[in-house]
Structure 1
């Protein structure tokens, strides 16, 4: 009979490649989360523990663990009738999180402009965003990741670990809605222009201008995702399905 210690040892046993295998509940969690982000699972879709277990080749226990974790993160919910479903978009909640994001990033910009030495991270961001049109990505998934790295990079470069931690939490909670902003090609192009302008203001230590540009940039993103309808979500899913892996 196995003990908790021996079970934990077995769970941590390296795979054939020599790398530790990710716990099954974590793998199920990551797979479901990816399905939500890429809209293979849509807001309001019902989820069956049995169906998920059969699809991933697992028992219901790790599936349930994964679903409870997704519930804590705000991606799934338990409707009145029981069971599970993908959480519907709550735009009032997203608006509040966007406001928090503006406060944190504006404070980071102010700190960046006040620093005696220019952080090397800003030069790295300029190398990504202040580029000719021909060098810009048009891939929505790539643009989404780069955008997250831009905003996280600004906050991290400000040098306040608690501010960065709070920003990571807000980013996680609005990630699924921000994903939509990059299913529209015009928004990818606008993001390059807006990021480049913010970086130019930071390079000149024009804190007020950088804060104004940053707030306008975030507001433009918020307004864009506010326009999304259920039909738009299906179109976004189709666009992502056509994107090369």
Structure 2
């Protein structure tokens, strides 16, 4: 019995990861509709793990259930994204001031400085590694401020923005800018220049926000065009039935 339960959980995890990857890579675009049967057929999974995976994605805000008509990839709510970015900036600016008010500089500053001030450009991270490092940079700075509630709320915002923030590192110029801007923020913090650090951080986040919005819209347009130009392929991909 335990073995069967574990097997179901494992299949649900695989279905979850496959669907999430489809959404992140825009093989499923916002507004695409599909049924549990479609997913099960494509991924060779029974209804129970498929449903578990979809409910998990629903809780995380990636899909929504449609009354009597299956599921849908949740359309982007850019107003909500703007509001989440505003809240994120408010929390991170507060963290800058708290860090500069500490009696001793947190060890996190030294560790982050080593990462974002490499001796040579060839030592910079790439791909998924730099995405993970960027997320850690912001989360670690907030955590270094020492407010656990602030840290928890910030992590929840980070989770909700991950689907679009990751696109910021699909362009080389954005990776270069991230290294330069992170280093500048850390320099201001080490000099206990709270307002300067907060202002640099705000400009950095707003530049990233603008870039990811542009990239997101471009990806959605490209994916929608591919759907229109390849109707045969769309029919062969049962998880994607169009917006």
TM-score (norm 1): 0.82
RMSD of aligned alpha carbons: 2.3
Which stretch shifts more, 224-233 or 168-177? 224-233
Q: Match of 2:163? A: 176
Given that 1:25 and 1:66 are in contact with CA atoms closer than 8 Å, whether structure 2 keeps it comes out as yes
**TM-fit CA distance, 1:94:** 0.2
- Where relative contact order (Cα < 8 A, 6+ residues apart) is larger, the structure is 2
User: Aligned partners of 1:97, 1:197: CA distance in 2, in Å?
Assistant: 24
SS state at 1:78 partner:
strand
Do residues 11 (structure 1) and 5 (structure 2) align?
Answer: yes
Give how far 1:66 is off: 1.4
2:180 matched residue in structure 1: 193
* Contact residue 26 and residue 219 of structure 2 kept, 8 A: no
Q: Aligned to 2:76, what secondary structure does the other structure show? A: coil
Of 181-190 and 42-51, the range deviating more from structure 2: 42-51
- Stretches of structure 1 lacking an aligned partner (at least 5 in a row): 1-6, 14-20, 237-245
SS in structure 1 at match of 2:69: coil
Q: Determine whether 1:58 maps to 2:45.
A: yes
Greater fraction helix: 2
SS in 2 for 1:168: helix
Decide whether the 8 Å contact of 1:29 with 1:66 is kept in 2: yes
SS at 1:227 equivalent: helix
> Any stretches of 5+ residues in structure 2 without a counterpart?
224-243
Deviations 1:19-57, CA, capped at 9 Å, x for gaps: xx9543233223322332233332222233123223333
* CA distance in structure 1 between the aligned counterparts of 2:198 and 2:113, rounded to whole angstroms: 17
